[in-house]
Amino acid sequence: MNKLLMVLSSAFALSACVEVPKTLEHDSRLEFTEVSGYKFHTQVKGDLKAPVVIVVHGGPGADHQYLLPMGPLAKAHRVIFYDQRGSGLSPRVDKSQLTLEQNLKDLDLLVEHFSADRKVTLIGHSWGGMLVAGYLSTYPTKVSHAVLVEPGMLHPEAAAAFVKTMKAHQSIGSLFSLAKYMSVYPFVRQHDGHEGFDYVMTKLLNKNDPGAPYQCAGESMPDNSFTRASYEAFNSMLKPVMDDPASFRYDLSQGIESYTGKLMLISSECSAIGYAFQEQYHMPKLPQQTRHVKANKMGHNMLTLNPEWSLSLISSFLNE
């Protein structure tokens, strides 16, 4: 009996030994912006009266932490970083709310909240670039400047090419990493019920193997670039496409020709979905005023790893 109690006590202790950051629902100290009854975890930088820039992070299911090197844009702008619905440190939601359509609605809610009386600037990285492209197609008159940083897929043909490219770079090492992180799952402390799988997802995002498919050889992201990922967001919006590319039926560029503001596409030399991919699949769909910039000797995460170059380029673009 005593041995059984010892085993149970040890198991209970282990179950409480792994923590993931709490969302707004369980940590009232976090900064947030509430719109339409939902509290987004946000970080707002810059003067209240300055032109608004909203930065849209990648994923789906990542968080905005890795894009904070873009913070110096706040010298001349009011910069809004936010964690998308159900992702990062924003509260978890039912999977019915984890859709591309809801993400576009949320972006519009934030645009209206922060910049209803004037046009906004949007910067979207990866999945965030997809959302910004979709936003320009849907609300072309609300944006003055937009920056798309290496979006993954804007239409079904690009989705098929994206999945084929990503699967060509899968390795057996990824499966071993998944198994290792899953072994910790039972010992993650629970508050909202999502912490276990979020722990695994965050570890995978922060694994940061150098080189392909996203980075240049020898290049990797800083440790702990991501605070808390959302497995459910990934599972709802990207995993079905990875399993069956034909399930991506959106054309996020449909209607984008109505956007007449400034538009810049940034893509990298080293990424598998970099300059050549963007030229083939996305540039033909973008408006004629689009400026395509190649980030030489850089990878997919140039905003994080090459902030001086990125800030100089984007700042000059925003001043046009």
Q: Write out pLDDT tens, residues 16-75.
A: 589 999 999 999 999 999 999 999 999 999 999 999 999 999 999 999 999 999 999 999
Over range 255-272, report the average pLDDT: 98
**If you write DSSP's letter for every residue of 79-125 in order, what string do you get?**
EEEEPPTTSTTSPP--GGG-SHHHHHHHHHHHHHHHHTTS-EEEEEE
> For residue 180, what pLDDT band results from cuts at 50, 70 and 90?
confident
> For residue 154, what pLDDT band results from cuts at 50, 70 and 90?
very high
Contact 85, 98 (CB under 8 A): yes
> Residue 179's pLDDT is what?
82
Looking at the DSSP assignment, which residues form a beta bridge with residue 125? Answer: 149
> For residue 199, what pLDDT band results from cuts at 50, 70 and 90?
very high
> Residue 288's pLDDT is what?
97
- For 292, counting Cβ atoms within 10 Å of its Cβ (0-12 exposed, 13-18 middle, 19+ buried), the class is middle
> Residue 275's pLDDT is what?
98
Over range 2-8, report the average pLDDT: 47
Q: How far is CA 209 from CA 12, 14, 175, in A?
A: 34, 29, 14
Over range 167-173, report the average pLDDT: 74
CA 298 to chain centroid, in Å, comes to 19
Nearest alpha carbon to residue 95 among 308, 240, 277, 268? 240
For each of the domains in the chain, give its residue range(s) and CATH number, in order of start.
10-320 (3.40.50.1820)
Over range 275-298, report the average pLDDT: 98
Query: Is residue 176 scored above 90 in pLDDT?
Result: no
What are the CB-based long-range contacts (under 8 Å, 24+) for 218-226?
A: 219/270, 219/299, 219/305, 221/66, 221/301, 221/304, 221/305, 222/304, 225/65, 225/66, 225/304, 226/62, 226/63, 226/65, 226/66, 226/202
Pairing of β 120-125 and β 38-45: unpaired
Q: Kindly state the DSSP code that residue 285 receives in the 8-state scheme.
A: G
**Each residue of 73-92: b (16+ CB within 10 Å) or e?**
bbeebbbbbbbbbbbbbbbb
Higher pLDDT: 227 or 175? It is: 227
Task: Please give the mean pLDDT across all residues of the chain.
Answer: 93
Higher pLDDT: 60 or 6? It is: 60
> Residue 207's pLDDT is what?
87
> Residue 303's pLDDT is what?
98
> Residue 172's pLDDT is what?
56
Query: Is residue 3 scored above 60 in pLDDT?
Result: no
Over range 264-272, report the average pLDDT: 98
Helix (H) or strand (E) holding 41: strand 38-45
Over range 152-160, report the average pLDDT: 98
Over range 113-141, report the average pLDDT: 97
Contact 103, 127 (CB under 8 A): no
Contact 79, 68 (CB under 8 A): no
Query: Is residue 2 scored above 90 in pLDDT?
Result: no
> Residue 9's pLDDT is what?
45
